[in-house]
Amino acid sequence: MAHLYALIGPNRPTGVPEPVTLISRLLSTTVLVTVLATSGAATAAETFLPHQPSSAGSYLAGQAALHAMQTGAASRYLRDALEGDYDHPQVVQTALIAFAADGRIADAANAARHMLEVDPGNELALLIIATEELKQGKFDDVISGLDKLGNESFSGITGAIIRAWALVGEGKLEDGLKSLEPVAANGLDDFLVFHRALMADVAGQHDRAIDLVAKAYETDPYVARIVEAYARMLGNAGRFDEAEGILNSFAGEGLTHPLVDSVRVTIQAKQAPGPFADNVQTGAAEMFHGIGVALAREGNNELALVFLRLGLYLDPRADIIAMVLGQFLDDSGEHTAANALYEAVPAGSPMKPTAVVRMAQNIDSLGDRAEALRRLGNIVNANPNDLDALSVLGDLQRTDKRYADAAKTYTKALEVTPGDLPGDWRFYYVRGIAYERNKEWPKAEADFKKALELRPDQPQVLNYLGYSWVDQGVNLVEALQMIEKAVAAAPNDGYIIDSLGWAYYRLGRYEDAVETLEQAVMLKPNDPEINDHLGDAYWRAGRKLEARFQYNVAVSVDKEGTVKARVEKKLASPNQGPLDEPVVPQAADGEPAAPPPKPANQAVLDKPAAPAAAPPAL
């Protein structure tokens, strides 16, 4: 899951904001006992097998497939397990999760009804049944069925929102809003105000909806979904100038989102963009979307997938949910399943260009980089202003070591974007990497400095420029300060900590180098370069036996052979240590007495490179 949630964070290629940061507060404010654990079945499922031996194999296989996000296989295995052990709570619970995660909501609802027979208090079963009833417009059944849930647990809060939507569906907006007051009293008023706004808008109280969404916007002005909803409500009310101001503030931070861009077109044309949610089902779907993403960020993967599927079930037109599901599957290595979701996004959807880009990227992940590059090239030729396509194309070219082509692609991206917004730092950074790899250091250095002008505290840029200076033996004191600043910003990044250790090594501070590189190896034990660095530091510190041990580790973990040849020369003789690495002697004041020449070994510069980025998270 690292890939997906790194993209939601501050290093997104085009600065797409987090889906709903208020939901993150929900997860941290409530006592998060997930729905999966409320009946105790999930915990038991990890330690107890089904009653019938014939079901055990299917159950275990289904559980493993579900954990791997292979939801189709999980559903098949668990259906077989159910046939052999229909009344076992763990089997039923895991099966209904698998069915829902695979989008088989009718099957999940049937399993949920049986779950309530064997475990009447199972909250996930209640939520799934209520979602099916909400889809069918059976609002009375939703309201009565969810009365059994309290307002304290996570599942109770989720159920309270679904129940409020059912009351809106019955034309009882005031009752629906009032029903949320006990939840709001738990410190969740900021979280709920956005959903109250959507409820008021669906109920036809548009002025009230604008007032409520304005409060949500004040709390989180750079969340795309809130910005889109606010702009839509203002535009539908004919308040086009105000709507454009909201959109301009979003863009002014270097943030983009396909749905926000789509609303901008209609607002600039002085046309009503239409509602954010046009009925109870689409409103509730947004709740599942936002909470599903937040759950995934917290590592509750199976439950996140269930919530996203429930959202798409309520609103099959919600292409943004399909995109999030696809990205979720991508990060689990299920690229073929993800591409099926991207392929289903309609051609006229604002999300289709992003879907096409992701399909091309998945083709690369499946092993056909040439075809991926061809498709991305076609996308860019057809739409030279597609920033996502340019970003991914440049990243794949850089990964393919076509550095000159990558630099040209990033230059095109900087011609599309203003080039001086905070979010533009990333294009200067990756273009700088491409220049550096192409041995055009002056251009690379200028781009790194420009990236730092836009984001002075960006740890990746601080690390890359500082490391490069250290490796060249120039600007050593400033470089060390930059890397120390990068470590402070990313204290658990093994690569950045390695850079700091290597800077100490180059400055002759061997004890500091050893201590720091030991931390880096703990964080990245399988990185051959870091293990080799630690070996060199041990050697210079007089700890030669430990150095040779570390060299052997470096060789054993080097899967690509980039470090092995160098390290084997050190292992060839018990008296051979670092291979003529230049070291900066220290003057009394701690300043380097004289900078060394640039070392011959450039392999270490491969380490700080940014990974190829995906299109923005949604």
Q: What is the DSSP string of 410-441?
A: HHHHHHHS-S-SGGGHHHHHHHHHHHHHTT-H
Tallying the residues shown for the chain, one arrives at 618
Residue 55 falls inside a structural domain: no
Q: What's the rounded mean pLDDT across residues 225-247?
A: 97
Residue 180 falls inside a structural domain: yes
Radius of gyration of the chain (CA): 27
Residues 221 and 140 in one domain: yes
Tally of domains within the chain: 3
Reading the block at residue 321, the tokens are 């949910």
Query: What is residue 204's DSSP assignment?
Result: T
CB 91 within 8 A of CB 119: no
Residue 330 falls inside a structural domain: yes
Q: Which residue has the tokens 């794949």?
A: 396
Query: What is residue 592's DSSP assignment?
Result: B
Provide the pLDDT for residue 56. 82
Q: How many CA atoms lie within 13 A of 498 on its CB side?
A: 28
CB 257 within 8 A of CB 17: yes
Q: Which residue has the tokens 């840029």?
A: 461
Provide the pLDDT for residue 574. 81
Give 583's pLDDT tier (boundaries 50, 70, 90).
low
Residue 288 predicted with pLDDT over 90: yes
Residue 589 falls inside a structural domain: yes
Backbone angles phi, psi at 223, to 5 degrees: -90, 120
Q: How far from the centroid of its chain's Cα atoms is residue 68's Cα?
A: 17
pLDDT digit string, tens, across residues 170-227: 999 999 999 999 888 777 888 899 999 999 999 999 999 999 999 999 999 999 999 9
Q: How many CA atoms lie within 13 A of 374 on its CB side?
A: 5
State the first-to-last Cα distance of the chain, in angstroms, to the nearest integer: 14
Residue 2 predicted with pLDDT over 60: no
Residue 474 predicted with pLDDT over 70: yes
Residues with Cβ within 8 Å of residue 66, at least 6 apart in sequence: 74, 78, 94, 97, 98, 101, 302
Provide the pLDDT for residue 50. 52
Residue 609 predicted with pLDDT over 80: no
Residue 290 predicted with pLDDT over 60: yes
Residue 600 predicted with pLDDT over 70: no
Cα separation of 67 and 360, whole Å? 26
Cα separation of 303 and 309, whole Å? 10
Reading the block at residue 81, the tokens are 């397990």
Provide the pLDDT for residue 440. 96
CB 124 within 8 A of CB 158: no
Sheet strands (E) in 521-602: none
Cα separation of 378 and 221, whole Å? 35
Cα separation of 604 and 505, whole Å? 13
Residues 331 and 252 in one domain: no
Q: How far from the centroid of its chain's Cα atoms is residue 123's Cα?
A: 28
Residues 246 and 132 in one domain: yes
Reading the block at residue 563, the tokens are 């470090």
How high is the mean pLDDT of the chain? 84
Give 36's pLDDT tier (boundaries 50, 70, 90).
very low
Give 26's pLDDT tier (boundaries 50, 70, 90).
low
Residues 137 and 260 in one domain: yes
Residues 263 and 336 in one domain: no
Residues 246 and 332 in one domain: no
Cα separation of 123 and 108, whole Å? 13
CB 154 within 8 A of CB 127: no
Residue 256 falls inside a structural domain: yes
Residues 323 and 217 in one domain: no
Question: In the chain, what percentage of residues exceed pLDDT 90?
Answer: 61
Q: What's the rounded mean pLDDT across residues 472-492?
A: 92
Give 462's pLDDT tier (boundaries 50, 70, 90).
very high
Give 297's pLDDT tier (boundaries 50, 70, 90).
confident
Residue 356 falls inside a structural domain: yes
Residue 264 predicted with pLDDT over 60: yes
Residues 239 and 166 in one domain: yes
Q: Is the pTM of this model over 0.75?
A: no
Residues 222 and 350 in one domain: no
Provide the pLDDT for residue 418. 83
Provide the pLDDT for residue 49. 52
Provide the pLDDT for residue 606. 40
Cα separation of 580 and 509, whole Å? 17
Of 202, 237, 268, which residue is a domain's last? 268
Of 268, 303, 330, which residue is a domain's last? 268
Residue 456 predicted with pLDDT over 90: yes
Residues 189 and 263 in one domain: yes
Q: What's the rounded mean pLDDT across residues 112-117?
A: 94
pLDDT digit string, tens, across residues 422-455: 889 999 999 999 999 999 999 999 999 999 999 9
pLDDT digit string, tens, across residues 370-388: 999 999 999 999 889 888 8
Residue 152 falls inside a structural domain: yes
Cα separation of 282 and 92, whole Å? 29
H-type helices in 51-188, by residue range?
53-67, 71-84, 89-101, 105-118, 123-135, 139-145, 154-169, 173-179, 181-183
Q: What's the rounded mean pLDDT across residues 19-24?
A: 45
Residues 264 and 324 in one domain: no
CB 202 within 8 A of CB 278: yes
Cα separation of 146 and 141, whole Å? 8
Q: What's the rounded mean pLDDT across residues 249-259?
A: 87
The domain that holds 592 is classified in CATH as: 1.25.40.10
Reading the block at residue 266, the tokens are 């209609």
Which residues does residue 592 pair with via DSSP β-bridges, in sequence order? 586
Residues with Cβ within 8 Å of residue 197, at least 6 apart in sequence: 209, 210, 212, 213, 215, 216, 229, 233
Cα separation of 500 and 553, whole Å? 21
Q: What's the rounded mean pLDDT across residues 611-617?
A: 38
Give 148's pLDDT tier (boundaries 50, 70, 90).
confident
Residue 614 predicted with pLDDT over 60: no
Pick from 129, 273, 289, 274: nearest CA to 195: 289
Residue 37 predicted with pLDDT over 90: no
368: helix, coil or strand? coil
What angle (nearest 5°) sits at the alpha carbon of residue 293, between those of residues 288 and 294?
100
Give 586's pLDDT tier (boundaries 50, 70, 90).
very low
Residue-number span of the structural domain to which 175 is assigned: 2-38+121-268
Q: Which of 67-76, 123-132, 185-194, 506-515 has the lowest mean pLDDT?
A: 185-194
Backbone angles phi, psi at 253, to 5 degrees: -90, 10
Cα separation of 523 and 468, whole Å? 22
Q: Which residue has the higher pLDDT, 331 or 239?
A: 239
Residue 497 falls inside a structural domain: yes
Cα separation of 20 and 12, whole Å? 15
Pick from 331, 383, 386, 384: nearest CA to 362: 331
Residue 4 predicted with pLDDT over 50: no
Provide the pLDDT for residue 599. 33
Residues 261 and 334 in one domain: no
